[in-house]
Structure 1
């Protein structure tokens, strides 16, 4: 439970520590598995790439042997060597076509016989290999061309790109593989591109052939490690998750045990750290102080003064609010009783209660003890019922309210219109005052709908003969509007902020024409 907004680092550290402890085994395990997976993927990528290089070397050996066998025939008339060209094609499964050229002019092919086409040595990487994106016979279909020369004569053999695709797709079915020849490369899509092939996101490997001017690039996509983690290590992942949850749960339990909100509130209650602050309530007409609402503050030894919204909701949820309210009432009585002469007869003291206070009759003893500290008639104790929890009209609650009225204790509904079934409370319980929530008061002069609601509440109180207290008055416009509407009492920063007992008593003593503090008042109470 956060004690104050002044130290967010401490609060966030305590709340994040169990998560950090729970994530630690998982993070360490994932780091080790990721390292292992990267090693496995790199080894697999190297092995696959090496296999592709060896396979393409084997294919090129066939092309080279066919070219070397035809090289002595280069320069001979095409009619004499045409049969030899076709014989190499039929005998070699990898050779698609054979060709002869002299003086950079291709003059004989196994496909067409006599043929005339220029041969550019610059097209061939190292004068030997050319990866081309089709020719006139099969445009757009990849071909790998091997060139063997002897002076100004030479032989050319071609390989269908489907053989290369088979090597890329079958040998490395799970990898991103490309074969590169000079400035041209081809991937598994069978399209020849120019430039540098893309680098694999994972386990990037490049291996070149020792005999021919080509290289193979391998690797895996970015999602491969996660895919491998899920497919190869599901049992280990489950174990890491269980260890992480167990470690985080144990840490969370230890932290709660060491510093639980309930234990901290109980410690503060025993140490008498809950102190009253007083916010005056003024009456209509002369706006003199007619009473005060007692607000609980926590004077924490390390955190200082803690705002009520940081601990009151939890105290109500845990049921500790009853004991805290009892201590607050005792503090209030002890602070005000010695200076009761400063209070006018019928001075209203408002104490907040919740539905938890109405489950038994112990509240009667608390109120009786409180009133016994003051002369009869000097204090009008008002219990302000907050509506964060629903109050049921049980026999105990009805009896409690009846006996409180017999004792002279009044009942007010706090923050009327914003909590639980307020109108139902008016029907089931005898209520003396309604406290109009500050959200309606703040809309005076602005939101027409809220102002209509406010007027309706005031009219309802008049019809039911209920007193009205308007909370959150901060401007003179709000004050004057409420006064014209017949609101009995007002409360807000326009008149005074909540203040500790010493400041409250000094302000009472400083009122014009009011009683003075006795001469033996302690220094912390005496006017400065």
Structure 2
């Protein structure tokens, strides 16, 4: 059941949202090399609410930046207590319109600093909402953000509003292959063709690819055969609480 707007507003005001870690695996080395940060909301009965239950109640420009700041602060606390390898990849979703905000650059720098710059921080620009801030000032702010060492990715590439336009304007160097494509690999000729085109685009533009929503050994094999080595999904692990992810990661250190 969806939370109502008042419940979401209270949760934001009280900073009740917590990060869950979706492990990111390199299928060539077999190791866990990073994680994507996902939002969860603890409920009074001890369960946690999924994003599908609260994100529809959030205003994109007002509430999502608040949620992102809460998550980044909480992630910083977990990273301080974790042993992470050099080059550990951490990815977080942001809206394209959020990307030019000055607070985001500061928060990213704090995350980098708390790991003594052992972190590779990737901000995933979501295509789920239209891009409205796309002028020279927005692009200049993105450039300053990337000058600090932050990388940009296009999340769920090919399923949203902006597509190639967002890739062109942002200068992102990473594409996330969405679960909508991954889940039908081997079953649908059209999906296979679309995936091949995305892989070809990445090769031509020297972009990195990350596949999400990998749920089976067969999907992993098909993606690996296309040259994709970074993957995430329930085939490897469900999203984990900070405590569980700390234990999970220790197996690969």
Q: Same fold (TM over 0.5)?
A: yes
Contact 1:474 1:493 in 2 (8 A): yes
How far off is 1:318 after superposition?
6.0
- Which residue of 153, 160, 164 corresponds with 1:412? 153
CA-based RMSD of the aligned residues comes to 1.7
What TM-score, normalized by structure 1, do the two folds share?
A: 0.46
- Which residue of 356, 378, 388 corresponds with 2:128? 388
- Specify the alignment match of 2:79 in structure 1: 336
- Specify the alignment match of 1:292 in structure 2: 35
Q: 1:381 to 1:329 in 2, by over 3 A?
A: same
Contact 2:100 2:142 in 1 (8 A): no
How far off is 1:448 after superposition?
0.3
How far off is 1:430 after superposition?
0.9
- Specify the alignment match of 2:226 in structure 1: 485
Contact 2:124 2:155 in 1 (8 A): yes
Cα distance between partner residues in 2 of 1:284 and 1:404: 30
Q: 1:316 to 1:491 in 2, by over 3 A?
A: farther
Aligned residues: 252
- Which residue of 346, 349, 352 corresponds with 2:87? 346
What TM-score, normalized by structure 2, do the two folds share?
A: 0.94
Alignment of 1:121-520 (within 5 A): 261=5, 263-301=6-44, 304-317=47-60, 319-339=62-82, 342-358=83-99, 360-376=101-117, 378-392=118-132, 393-511=134-252, 514=253
Cα distance between partner residues in 1 of 2:46 and 2:237: 25
Contact 2:130 2:161 in 1 (8 A): yes
Cα distance between partner residues in 1 of 2:135 and 2:44: 40
Gaps of 5+ in 2: none
How far off is 1:265 after superposition?
2.4
How far off is 1:302 after superposition?
5.3
Contact 1:414 1:437 in 2 (8 A): yes
How far off is 1:303 after superposition?
7.5
Q: 1:313 to 1:426 in 2, by over 3 A?
A: same
Measured against aligned partners, the alpha-carbon deviations of 1:477-528 in whole angstroms (never above 9, x if no partner) come to 11111111111311111111101000000111233xx2xxxxxxxxxxxxxx
Contact 1:467 1:488 in 2 (8 A): no
How far off is 1:375 after superposition?
1.1
Cα distance between partner residues in 1 of 2:142 and 2:14: 31
Larger Rg: 1
Query: Which is bigger in relative contact order (C-alpha 8 A, separation at least 6)?
Result: 2
Moved over 6 A (4+): none
